[in-house]
Amino acid sequence: MNRAAIVACHGVALQVGRAGRQRVLVRDLQWDVHEGERWVVLGPNGAGKSTLLNALAGLRHIEAGNIVYSGSALSALDVTAQAARRALVTDRWHDPFSASVKQTVLTARFRFGSEDLAAEAVATDALARFDCQHLAGADVRTLSRGERQRVAIATAFAQDTPLMLLDEPIAHQDPRHQALVLDTLRHAQGRTLIASLHDVNAALRFATHALLLTGRGTWSAGAAVDVLTAERMSELFQTRFAAWAGADRDGPARVLVQQVEQTTDVRESPPL
């Protein structure tokens, strides 16, 4: 029996630009995401990764098709119902007024109402998970970009939704915090994740599945081990990749992909 998808795209189309100058990013996207999966969305700059995440969050119009959350059309869900199903982390934010980091994280609990007795504990736990506990009393407007990004992720985590949408969650992080953010998300129980990344090796360590966007309307999706290969990455990014056996702290050897040199002839890319 097929599992019901936590979120599904049925014939979704996305485009940008004004009338007469429109560019198709995604055409006829047929994509199911199931509970507990960790999806990475990869593609060159301008391929539509952020656009897709915003569409999944209900913040952007789609040109065709339907997005469905556990059997309910996204377009039929009100703001509160959407907030109970997904949390979104963008790579841009705007803080128009002074607020502490703790107060910022607590905004994620708004949908639970004034009787939310767990709010303080949930916020404290989320800050600790993403190494922000020492910033709890700081003004959110004084943070570095990396700190502010981790606070944004902690806020989304505290929203306590089954699905998290993350746009470049490690873009502003130093190497230690890149590992911390991805490991914390990877081991979070009861969460389904969709994240856009540019780092192919980080994607390999993080994802169970991958969606590739070319930015020309075409796409492909599948298990990470089948999709994140040297050959397919070379074709997607028009840059040569090679593969070799490696190991990480989890123990098992795995295939890692690394950029070797730029090339305009991806047919010469080394086979996996």
pLDDT in tens, 85-139: 999 999 888 898 999 999 999 999 999 988 899 999 999 999 999 999 999 999 9
Q: Is residue 265 part of a domain?
A: yes
CA-based nearest residue to 216, from 44, 54, 74: 44
Q: Are residues 103 and 177 in the same domain?
A: yes
Say whether both 55 and 164 belong to one domain: yes
- Integer Rg of the chain from CA: 19
Residue 252 is predicted with a pLDDT of 45
Task: Give the Cβ contact number of residue 271 at 10 Å.
Answer: 8
Residue ranges of the chain with per-residue pLDDT less than 50: 1, 251-253, 263-272
Distance CA 14, CA 29 (A): 9
pLDDT at 215: 93
- Based on the domain organization, do 132 and 215 belong to the same domain? yes
Q: Are residues 180 and 211 in the same domain?
A: yes
Q: Which domain holds residue 77?
A: 7-228
Residues 272 and 164 placed together within one structural domain of the fold: no
> In total, how many domains does the chain have?
2
Residue 2 lies in a domain: no
Residue 242 pLDDT: 80
Chain position carrying tokens 């190497």: 175
Q: Is 185 in a helix, a strand, or coil?
A: helix
